[in-house]
Structure 1
Amino acid sequence: MSRFLIVLAIASVSLIETAGSAAASNGPYVGQGYDASSYQCINGVPVALDPAFTSFGIIRVTGGRPFTVDSCRQALWRQAAFGTSPPSLYVNVAYSGAYGHKVSGFCLTATAAEGYSGRYLQAYRIGCAESDFAFGQIVTGKVTPTAWWLDVEIGNSWSSSDPVLNQAAIDGAADRLKFLSRVAVGVYSSATAWNQITSGTGFRPASASGSWVAGDCTTFSTGLLAWLRQSGNTSSGADADYAC
């Protein structure tokens, strides 16, 4: 074999190995884990973990809506920090003009790199304030979260007439959370919810890297790699999650 063909063959093998590695790991998660909230606590004490789902844990900080707190968040975090690889956190995000009075501090004058202005900038600042609030409601100690997740679901408040308001709020939440945490930020949703809230797969929050999908590993947003999928439950009643 000529020297040129040998080099070409080695390069081809290298490219195949690189592509295989990328396809096998789209994000920071491996194996199967769980996500938990106060529903997995009894009198403030977390129920025991399912040993088959301890590759990672994702703990809810907020209480189902922005500007609320999960009553068992700290105990669940401690459990996950000792029982899994570095766990992650998730927060609820939404848009409602009524949240405007919650905006304060940095977010009161925040500008958007995405170029939002007028009422869209106000929506962006609302999302910023949601993350500002949530970030201050958990003490992670010496354990750095693997990622912070934004929970985008139909059950929360959203504009039904202008999805760009919703997009701006999500962008504001993602940008602020990325700045505060200095770790990866992702988005949890389903294709149905994402389409209804943001108008479709074309919207990707600028500061988000991955998606956590309710269903299979098909991402709901072009540009966001599917890192996790949620399906079924663990034996302890928590939602079961799998690395994509």
Structure 2
Amino acid sequence: MARFGMKMACTFLALIGLSLAGMAPAAAAAPTRTTDLVGNDVSWPQCGKTLPAGQAFAIVGVTGGLANNTNPCLAQQLVWAAGSTGGTAQPKVALYVNTANPGLAGSWWPSSNSYAGTQVANPYGTCGGGVDLACSYMYGYAKAYDDATIRGVSNPGDYFWWLDVETGNSWQTNTGLNRADLEGMVAYFTSITSGGAAGAGVGIYSTANQWGTIAGTVPVSSPLGGLPSWLAGAKTLRGAKSICSSPGLTPGSPVSVTQYVSAGLDYDYSCH
């Protein structure tokens, strides 16, 4: 994620050398592990770097910082993630993808309701190439399709997919268009995970402020409603635990995971 927590920069290392009071360890102190089970996530910024060991769960970035590119270290990082120890309510391995709605400024924009040979049922009508609800929905659907089929993920329907929603990517000023885009992504990921392994599904990663800027107020009727939330923004494990009780990003959304950043590293806490 871009950088309030996950994506554009840091790793998720299982919690190292932090006290429950949230104090950072001295620079020369030997790392120690708390009894709390925490997870890590990694992506393209960690290419070529030594990854942590002993994480309870792992979340691997499929894209490389944009909605239309690939993490060049995806294969190696999935192998690393498979070594997660488990012990939380989260799947041992989950995935996340960058999201965006660039409109005509992007390298590709849909002009119909067809993608990759499939005629997509579009709740917003027919996409004719304009920057409108119908084409925004198709753009999101297409990016999710690509994430699942061309980036090197085997058995994509068996994973939980997190949508990384951050202001660092390209978005429309009209929040309704951005919601339609994300709904298209949710529609595709839901279609492949509904019959997948236990724990497969789709959720949303963001902060309340960034989500509000991008997606605005989500109607109860939206497919975004009720999706699990992964909340970023905490600075300590204690802070991450506390925001488990915060409202989710959409109506009826449970807060499933929270994230905190310490000493340039990202950590995740399972709320359930």
TM-score range, shorter chain: 0.7 to 0.9
| Cα distance change on mapping 1:107 and 1:199 into 2, 3 Å | farther
TM-score for the superposition, normalised by structure 2: 0.67
> Of 189, 192, 200, which residue of structure 2 is paired with 1:177?
189
Structure 2 residue identity aligned to 1:116: Y
Structure 2 residue identity aligned to 1:186: G
| Cα distance change on mapping 1:139 and 1:128 into 2, 3 Å | same
Structure 2 residue identity aligned to 1:39: P
Distance 2:204 2:154 in 1: 20
Please name the residue that 2:44 is paired with.
38
- What are the Cα deviations for residues 83-111 of structure 1, in whole angstroms up to 9, with x where unaligned? 34430000011112224835462587422
Q: Which stretch shows the higher mean deviation, 134-143 or 89-98? A: 134-143
TM-score for the superposition, normalised by structure 1: 0.74
| Cα distance change on mapping 1:199 and 1:139 into 2, 3 Å | closer
Please name the residue that 1:189 is paired with.
206
- What are the Cα deviations for residues 169-198 of structure 1, in whole angstroms up to 9, with x where unaligned? 000011101212332100001001011011
Please name the residue that 1:150 is paired with.
163
Please name the residue that 2:67 is paired with.
66
Q: Which stretch shows the higher mean deviation, 99-108 or 214-223? A: 99-108
- Deviation of 1:55 after TM superposition, in Å, equals 1.2
Secondary structure at the aligned position of 2:83 is classed as helix
Measured on the aligned residues, the alpha-carbon RMSD in Å equals 2.7
- Deviation of 1:199 after TM superposition, in Å, equals 1.2
> Of 135, 139, 154, which residue of structure 1 is paired with 2:148?
135
Distance 1:132 1:142 in 2: 10
- Deviation of 1:82 after TM superposition, in Å, equals 2.4
> Of 212, 229, 234, which residue of structure 1 is paired with 2:258?
229
Structure 2 residue identity aligned to 1:57: A
Please name the residue that 2:94 is paired with.
88
More helix by share: 1
Distance 1:188 1:107 in 2: 30
Alpha-carbon contact 2:103-2:109 (below 8 Å) kept: no
In the comparison of the two structures, how many residue pairs are matched?
A: 204
The 4+ residue runs of structure 1 with deviation greater than 6 A are: none
| Cα distance change on mapping 1:184 and 1:196 into 2, 3 Å | same
Please name the residue that 1:21 is paired with.
none
Please name the residue that 1:4 is paired with.
none
Of structures 1 and 2, the larger Rg is shown by: 1
Structure 1 residue identity aligned to 2:50: V
Distance 1:37 1:88 in 2: 12
Alpha-carbon contact 2:96-2:161 (below 8 Å) kept: yes
- What are the Cα deviations for residues 86-139 of structure 1, in whole angstroms up to 9, with x where unaligned? 300000111122248354625874223xx3235201100000011011112133
